[in-house]
């Protein structure tokens, strides 16, 4: 019984498969067709719509514009949203702009008031009147006394020539009018002048020479006088030391005026020039302010610090300013009238600088500008903005972020 049922099921399955096979082969579009049977005509695809002449693009630029719609030029932020994120606007205005450059300076000696004392003869320090560094001396004060055999010999020579000259200048005897006497007198006078000039070259003063002439006795030592009033900053000799011509004995400096040398960075040098006034303060002198003008701007830039030196001269009659003191320098620079906006209104993208112009009714337009100097929290606008136009000055980064998200601004 089971065998008969199985055979019936197989027969039934084959019958159904045959019916399905015949149905597929009888269709016109089938893979397999009867001989001589042609496939049924396929339905024609729908025709593409033809653009009218008015709708056809008339240029390549219009086709590009149609393919890529123009990006919006403004971003809309409702007034409620502006209040929430703290948007503020400020009008660009032409204002008088000042900039204060602050730097640090150092007190130095005024090089015009430094003097070196030396000698023009060889000898020995017989008396050392100033025997330590730092002592204050007055102009004309004796610093040391030098014994020099050469100087003594020169004085003696001058005395002999002076005696001969005086004897030759006496009136000649009656009837004696020879040319020889007159020539001898002239030669004696010339030799006296030459010997006198030699003593002057040895740095003998007029008073010392007058003393020699009056006493007829040479001076044993030569007094060395201070050429300026100031402090001894270097002493190169000691008691009894032998010195040679041109050898330095003392270095003196007058601190009635001092220099202040300050550093100015490279990017600030374009605004620096001589004559600009500065206020100078010293930490060790609280409450005191020194006013001075720039006297000198160095033409050389230090490669390590990218700075240049500027110099001021300060009066220091009371000696309160000591060399090597540090001081704070404030230079106020008048930049004139310029078109400015607040620093917060300018977005620096690294490639360009943008401001967002308030167009009204909640719309802001991103606009590229050129920025000049910055001072007092304001930025100079060289181009891209007109006076009176309002720009966002607060929450500018939030506006810029929204503009970039919506594709209004792209780099």
Provide the CB-side half-sphere exposure for 56 (13 A, CA): 6
Contact 255, 316 (CB under 8 A): yes
The token pair that represents 74 in the structure block = 């403004």
Q: Is pLDDT above 60 for 45?
A: no
| In the predicted structure, residue 69 carries a pLDDT above the cut 70 | no
Per-residue pLDDT for 251 more than 90?
yes
User: Do 15 and 118 have their domain in common?
Assistant: no
Percentage of the chain beyond pLDDT 70 is 80
Provide mean pLDDT across the span 214-227: 91
Rounded to an integer, the average pLDDT of 36-58 is 41
Give the domain-ending residue among 287, 311, 334. 334
Judge if 343 and 216 occupy the same domain.
no
Distance (Å, whole) CA 331 – CA 310:
11
How much is the mean pLDDT over the chain?
Answer: 82
207-226 mean pLDDT: 90
pLDDT of residue 188: 79
pLDDT given for residue 22 in this prediction: 45
Phi-psi region of 134 (alpha: psi -120 to 50; beta: other; left: phi over 0): left
Summarize pLDDT for 254-271 with one digit per residue, the tens.
Answer: 999 999 999 999 989 988
Note the pLDDT of residue 35.
34
Last residue of a domain, one of 334, 367, 383: 334
Same domain, 358 and 266: no
The answer to whether position 36 is within a domain reads no
Residues 285 and 312 in one domain: yes
Same domain, 297 and 352: no
Question: 160: domain range?
Answer: 114-253
392 in a domain, yes or no? Answer: yes
Q: Is residue 241 packed enough to be buried (19+ CB in 10 Å), middle (13-18) or exposed (0-12)?
A: middle
Q: Is 62's pLDDT higher than 60?
A: no
Distance CA(305)–CA(200), nearest Å, equals 50
Residue 4 confidence (pLDDT): 58
Select from 223, 253, 283 the last residue of a domain. Answer: 253
Residue 196 in any domain: the answer is yes
**Rounded to 10 degrees, what is the CA torsion of 243, 245, 246, 249?**
30
d(CA 122, CA 145) in angstroms, rounded, equals 12
Q: Which tens digits make up the pLDDT trace of 304-334?
A: 999 999 999 999 999 999 999 999 999 998 8
CATH number at residue 232: 2.40.50.100
Backbone angles phi, psi at 323, to 5 degrees: -55, 145
Q: Are residues 304 and 192 in the same domain?
A: no
Domain count, the chain: 4
**Residue 39 located in a structural domain:** no
Over the range 284-309, which residues count as b (16 or more CB within 10 Å of their CB) and which as e? eeeeeebebebeeeeeeeeeeeebbb
Residue 325 near residue 107, CB atoms below 8 Å: yes
The torsion angles phi and psi of 194, rounded to 5 degrees, stand at -65, -40
Residue 20, CA atoms < 13 Å, CB-side half-sphere: 6
Mean pLDDT of 9-25: 53
């Amino acid at each position: 019984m089971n065998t008969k049922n199985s055979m019936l099921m197989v027969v039934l399955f084959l019958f159904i498969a045959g019916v399905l096979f015949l149905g597929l082969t009888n269709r016109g579009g089938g893979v397999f067709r009867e001989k001589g049977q042609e496939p049924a005509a396929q339905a024609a695809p729908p025709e593409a719509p033809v653009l009218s002449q008015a709708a056809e693009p008339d240029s390549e630029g219009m086709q590009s514009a149609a393919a890529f719609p123009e990006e919006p030029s403004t971003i809309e932020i409702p007034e409620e949203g502006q209040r929430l994120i703290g948007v503020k606007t400020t009008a660009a205005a032409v204002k008088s702009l000042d900039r204060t450059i602050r730097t640090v300076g150092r007190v130095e000696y005024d090089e015009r008031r430094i003097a070196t004392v030396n000698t023009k003869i060889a000898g020995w320090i017989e008396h050392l009147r100033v025997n330590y560094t730092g002592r204050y001396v007055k102009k004309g004060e004796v610093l040391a006394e030098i014994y020099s055999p050469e100087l003594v010999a020169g004085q003696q020579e001058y005395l002999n020539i002076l005696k001969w000259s005086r004897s030759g200048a006496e009136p000649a005897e009656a009837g004696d009018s020879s040319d020889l006497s007159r020539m001898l007198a002239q030669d004696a006078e010339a030799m006296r002048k030459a010997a006198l000039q030699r003593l002057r070259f040895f740095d003998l003063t007029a008073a010392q020479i007058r003393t020699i002439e009056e006493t007829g006795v040479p001076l044993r030592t030569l007094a060395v006088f201070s050429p300026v009033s100031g402090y001894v900053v270097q002493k190169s000799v000691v008691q009894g030391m032998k010195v040679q011509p041109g050898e330095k004995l003392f270095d003196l400096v007058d601190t009635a005026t001092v220099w202040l040398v300050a550093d100015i960075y490279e990017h600030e040098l374009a605004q620096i020039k001589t004559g600009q006034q500065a206020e100078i303060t010293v930490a060790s002198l609280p409450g005191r302010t020194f006013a001075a003008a720039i006297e000198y701007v160095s033409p050389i830039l230090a490669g390590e610090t990218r700075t240049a030196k500027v110099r001021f001269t300060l009066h220091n009659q009371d000696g309160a300013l000591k060399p090597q003191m540090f001081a704070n320098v404030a230079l106020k620079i008048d930049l004139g009238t310029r078109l400015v906006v607040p620093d917060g209104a300018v977005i620096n993208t690294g490639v360009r600088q943008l401001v967002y112009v308030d167009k009204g009714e909640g719309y802001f337009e991103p606009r590229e500008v050129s920025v000049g100097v910055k001072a007092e929290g304001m930025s100079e606008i060289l181009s891209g903005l007109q006076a009176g136009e309002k720009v966002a000055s607060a929450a500018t980064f939030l506006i810029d972020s929204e503009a970039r998200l919506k594709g209004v601004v792209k780099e």
